[in-house]
């Protein structure tokens, strides 16, 4: 049988608007601090922060601004950090294309979404309307 998916009381660690470069900087350090407080290894703190940075930048660059919610989630036998990025921008019409390595609609490297997916354990994209990307790293 699959592991039980019972999630016990998500704990809200932080919420941050994402509009400016300063918001992004603040969000990166908040995410790193929360991951460190939870006991993630230095390597995993860096992975989580890198994913957060890419997804936060997408919110600003492609989604015209939005927000991120940082949560500590618990299942019966494991803890994780979950980051939920949301914006009311144009959305992503073709998720498969957007997630492929090297695809960019602007002049990026096209590695933000695919890279974040690899750095985290779970990745969920809900769009359109707007864009919500939810990523989780388990301890």
Ligand X SMILES: Nc1ncnc2c1ncn2[C@@H]1O[C@H](COP(=O)(O)OP(=O)(O)OP(=O)(O)O)[C@@H](O)[C@H]1O
Instruction: Give the binding site for ligand X (CB under 6 A).
Output: 54, 58-59, 62-63, 87, 89-92, 98, 103-106, 108-114, 131
Instruction: Rule CB under 5 A: choose which of 112, 117, 133, 135 binds Mg ion.
Output: 112
Indicate which of ligand X, Mg ion, none lies near residue 106 (CB less than 5 to 8 Å, by partner kind). Answer: ligand X
Instruction: Rule CB under 5 A: choose which of 45, 53, 58, 131 binds Mg ion.
Output: 58
The minimum distance between CB 130 and ligand X, in angstroms, equals: 8
The minimum distance between CB 49 and ligand X, in angstroms, equals: 15
Give the DSSP letter string of 20-72. SHHHHHHHHHHHHHHHHHHT--HHHHHHHHHHHHHHHHHHHHTSSSEEEEEEE
60 CB contacts (<8 Å, ≥6 apart)? 18, 19, 20, 21, 23, 24
């Amino acid at each position: 049988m699959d592991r039980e998916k019972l999630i016990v009381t998500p704990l809200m660690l932080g919420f941050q608007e994402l509009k400016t470069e300063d918001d992004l900087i603040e969000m990166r350090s908040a995410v790193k601090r929360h991951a460190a407080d939870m006991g993630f290894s230095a390597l995993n703190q860096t992975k989580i922060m890198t994913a957060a940075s890419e997804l936060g930048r997408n919110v600003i660059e492609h989604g015209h601004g939005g927000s991120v919610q940082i949560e500590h989630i618990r299942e019966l036998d494991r803890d994780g950090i979950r980051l939920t990025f949301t914006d009311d921008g144009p959305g992503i019409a073709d998720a498969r294309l957007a997630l492929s390595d090297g695809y960019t609609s602007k002049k990026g490297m096209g590695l933000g979404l695919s890279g974040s997916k690899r750095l985290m354990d779970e990745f969920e994209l809900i769009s359109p309307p707007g864009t919500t990307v939810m990523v989780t790293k388990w301890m």
